[in-house]
Amino acid sequence: MMVLAYSLSQIITQQPARFSKLFIRAGIPVIVFGVEDIQQEYERMKELEVVFIKEPTKTEWETETIFEDTCGNFIQLMQK
């Protein structure tokens, strides 16, 4: 029996498409943008018909929202 194991660095550098798919499947944003006013950006982007999977939510560290781009990736906006 042969077992194949990949380190995270191998997946990122040698198999970026697989790495991206793992993040998408787990619902993890692939990129995060900091914004000055998250509520304003959320409302502006909603008017442009951006599909959000998470409304602006205050966490212990920040306020965040997550949307899906047109390729199936999750993008996070955050405000400190």
Report which DSSP code applies to 60: S
- Whether the Cβ atoms of residue 77 and residue 41 lie closer than 8 Å to each other: yes
Residue 17 has pLDDT above 70, yes or no: no
What's 8-79's CATH class?
A: alpha beta
pTM over 0.95? The answer is no
Domains of the chain, residue spans: 8-79
Residue in this structure with the two tokens 């006013």, named with its chain if needed: 37
pLDDT tens readout for residues 26-70: 777 778 999 999 999 999 999 999 999 999 999 999 999 999 888
